[in-house]
């Protein structure tokens, strides 16, 4: 039980979890430690699923808030603000959402994959104009990243020289 | 059928992610390899792209809670935000303006039609918010999604070269550039640089989205009415 507590109630890294599982397993026979490991994996997945479902509460609250406040801001952005406020005022604990949120953010690219497949619906993208648009995005992105990086680097430099 | 494509997408994504982590070649990028494999798969099995999109809508739906989830890194990094709020706001305000003006100028040079221009202007911000901005200024949300994804893929590839080429040293500059230029995909890339870069990148992404919402309401409508042909 202590191991499970260690897993869920601290913000420890995965390595620590693995270490505790390994240490625990050494004291038990192979069979039982395997069952426990399997149990832990299932519970870990369960925690993520429950927390992702819980995050939807804020998405729905955000959608409700959007109905009240007529600004061109998506419901998910309102949800972000509401969750932030709830965390900040200790209405909910970080542990209630942290694992689910970390998973969603770590696998963010997965949620873009279907839309990327949807590109096949736009024949223009594969035409000559498509190549031009890719070029446009490439050039513009290089300029955007370059200018953003240079400005941030300059400001950080000034701040540092002020301090010394 | 519905669950099948969700699972297949997930498995192909995992494979692509593993391959990309192992070999780190740009064509193994999960947003390049996975869609290509899936496009091949659906054309071989004679499934239409629309059918696939309906079947995998649960994955796209998760972008909603994923946007909400950004509250967690913001909350955990509040002290960093307070410390660097000026740098973040100045850099990202400039970044969003450069993104809108350079995209607008280049679109006019290529003589893109108004639908395309309206859809491409919010391309450098995260999908759910880009779609809102697109709707607001009269673009086509699906087309915007395509441009946002393309920006992500291209940004993820050119980002490290920009950082290297300009010999950017500070984590804040690296992170802000990646998050500003390539939203979630950039943030994903920033994780490879380190924790600080990843934090600043997700902050850049959130601030870019917020600031672009403001530009969408005030600046872009004026820009669209302005006749640029006098300049080009």
DSSP letters along A45-110, please?
HHHHHHHHHHHHHHHHHHHHHHHHS-SS--HHHHHHHHHHHHHHTTSS-HHHHHHHHHHHHHTGGG
Contacts of A50 (CB under 8 A, 6+ apart): A100
Confidence of residue A160 (pLDDT cuts 50, 70, 90): confident
Tens-digit pLDDT profile for residues A71-87: 777 888 899 999 999 99
What backbone phi and psi angles, to 5 degrees, belong to B169? -105, -40
| Per-residue pLDDT, A121 | 79
| Pair A97, B72: CB distance under 8 Å | yes
Q: Which residues of B touch A113 (CB under 8 A)?
A: 9, 12-13, 30-31, 34-35, 38, 56, 59
| Pair B128, B212: CB distance under 8 Å | no
Contact B150 A80 (CB under 8 A): no
| Per-residue pLDDT, A25 | 41
Q: Which residues of A touch B204 (CB under 8 A)?
A: 148
A41, A47, A52, A54 alpha-carbon torsion, rounded to 10°:
170
Contact B102 A144 (CB under 8 A): yes
B188 or A125, which is more confident: B188
Q: What is the pLDDT along chain B (232 residues), one digit of tens a residue?
A: 568 899 999 999 999 999 988 887 777 888 889 999 999 999 999 888 888 988 888 898 898 899 899 899 889 888 888 999 999 999 999 999 999 999 999 999 999 888 889 999 999 888 778 887 888 888 887 788 889 988 998 999 899 999 999 999 999 999 999 999 998 889 888 988 998 898 899 899 988 988 988 888 778 878 877 655 555 4
Contacts of B150 (CB under 8 A, 6+ apart): A133, A134, A137, B123
Contact A76 B63 (CB under 8 A): yes
Q: Which residues of A touch B213 (CB under 8 A)?
A: 72-73, 77
Secondary structure (H, E, C), B73-91: HHHHCHHHHHHHHHHHHHH
Contact A151 B166 (CB under 8 A): no
| Per-residue pLDDT, B53 | 87
Residue of A69, A94, A117 to mutate, interface with B, max B Cβ within 10 Å: A117
Alpha-carbon span B180 to B45, nearest angstrom: 38
Distance from CA of A121 to the nearest CA of B (A): 7
**CB contact A147 to B (< 8 Å):** yes
Residue of B10, B54, B63, B71 to mutate, interface with A, max A Cβ within 10 Å: B71
Distance from CA of B134 to the nearest CA of A (A): 10
- Reference B103, options A101, A137, A53; nearest CA is A137
What average pLDDT score do residues A128-139 get? Answer: 88
Distance from CA of A44 to the nearest CA of B (A): 18
| Per-residue pLDDT, A100 | 95
A34, A35, A41, A42 alpha-carbon torsion, rounded to 10°:
160
**CB contact A121 to B (< 8 Å):** yes
| Pair B146, A122: CB distance under 8 Å | yes
Tokens 């240490």 belong to which residue? A23
Contacts of A89 (CB under 8 A, 6+ apart): none
Alpha-carbon span B127 to B124, nearest angstrom: 9
DSSP state string for B106-160? HHHHTT--HHHHHHHTTTTS-HHHHHHHHHHHT--HHHHHHHHHHHHHHHHHHHH
Contact A104 B95 (CB under 8 A): no
Alpha-carbon span A139 to B154, nearest angstrom: 10
What do you get for the CA distance between the two ends of chain A, in Å?
Answer: 51
**CB contact B35 to A (< 8 Å):** yes
Residue A7 C-alpha from the chain's centroid? 19
| Per-residue pLDDT, A164 | 66
Tokens 């972000």 belong to which residue? A80
Of A73, A87, A112, which has the smallest distance from its Cβ to B71's Cβ?
A: A87
Q: Which residues of B touch A119 (CB under 8 A)?
A: 35, 146, 149
């Amino acid at each position: 039980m202590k191991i499970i507590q260690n897993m869920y109630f601290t913000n420890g890294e995965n390595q620590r979890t693995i270490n505790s599982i390994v240490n625990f397993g050494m004291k038990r026979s192979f069979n039982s430690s395997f069952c426990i490991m399997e149990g832990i994996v299932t519970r870990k997945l369960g925690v993520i699923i429950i927390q992702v479902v819980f995050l939807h509460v804020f998405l729905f609250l955000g959608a409700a808030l959007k109905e009240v406040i007529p600004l061109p801001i998506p419901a998910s952005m309102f949800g972000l603000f509401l969750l932030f406020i709830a965390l900040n005022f200790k209405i909910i604990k970080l542990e209630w959402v942290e694992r689910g949120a970390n998973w969603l953010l770590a696998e963010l690219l997965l949620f873009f994959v279907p839309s990327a497949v949807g590109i096949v619906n736009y024949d223009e993208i594969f035409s000559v104009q498509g190549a031009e648009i890719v070029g446009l995005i490439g050039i513009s992105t290089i300029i955007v990243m370059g200018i953003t990086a240079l400005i941030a680097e300059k400001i950080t430099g000034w701040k540092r020289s002020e301090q010394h | 059928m519905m669950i099948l494509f969700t699972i297949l997408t997930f498995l192909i994504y995992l494979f692509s992610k593993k391959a990309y982590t192992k070999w780190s070649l740009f064509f193994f990028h999960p947003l390049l390899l996975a869609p290509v494999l899936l496009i091949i798969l659906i054309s071989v099995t004679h499934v239409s792209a629309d059918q696939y999109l309906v079947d995998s809508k649960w994955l796209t739906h998760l972008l909603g809670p994923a946007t909400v989830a950004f509250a967690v890194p913001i909350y955990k990094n509040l002290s960093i935000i307070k410390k660097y709020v000026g740098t973040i706001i100045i850099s990202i305000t400039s970044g969003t303006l450069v993104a809108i003006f350079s995209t607008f100028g280049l679109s006019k040079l290529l003589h893109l039609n108004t639908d395309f221009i309206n859809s491409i202007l919010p391309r450098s911000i995260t999908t759910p918010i880009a779609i809102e901005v697109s709707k607001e200024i009269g673009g086509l949300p699906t087309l915007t999604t395509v441009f946002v994804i393309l920006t992500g893929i291209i940004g993820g590839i050119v980002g490290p070269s920009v950082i290297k080429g300009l010999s950017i040293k500070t984590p804040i500059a690296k992170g802000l550039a990646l998050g500003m230029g390539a939203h979630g995909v950039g943030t994903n890339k920033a994780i490879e640089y380190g924790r600080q870069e990843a934090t600043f990148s997700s902050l850049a992404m959130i601030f870019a989205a917020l600031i672009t919402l403001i530009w969408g309401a005030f600046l872009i409508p004026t820009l669209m009415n302005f006749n640029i042909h006098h300049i080009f």
